[in-house]
Structure 1
């Protein structure tokens, strides 16, 4: 992972839901389908590039 990748802004479920125009519940349901995310402490974060790639492949 490059420095640029590690410093990218990771989104919360609420931010991702807003960007995609869906509910937070939909985001959490998509995790079951393999939506890429990272668990940081108790919080789950989403890399926008990985999420976009996930939906391009779907």
Structure 2
């Protein structure tokens, strides 16, 4: 894993929700993304900052 990848603070995960469906997010350490299972979107984390824009999210495969 890249040393630049930052861990996500669990307190932050308690506060953040998917902007599309308002569902909880799960941190994926392997891809360094926040996953919304309900919306089937993966939000990237860049330089330790979650990018919570639907336009920047990656669609998840079914």
TM-score scaled by length of structure 2: 0.31
TM-score scaled by length of structure 1: 0.32
Which structure has more relative contact order (CA 8 Å, sep 6+)? It is 1
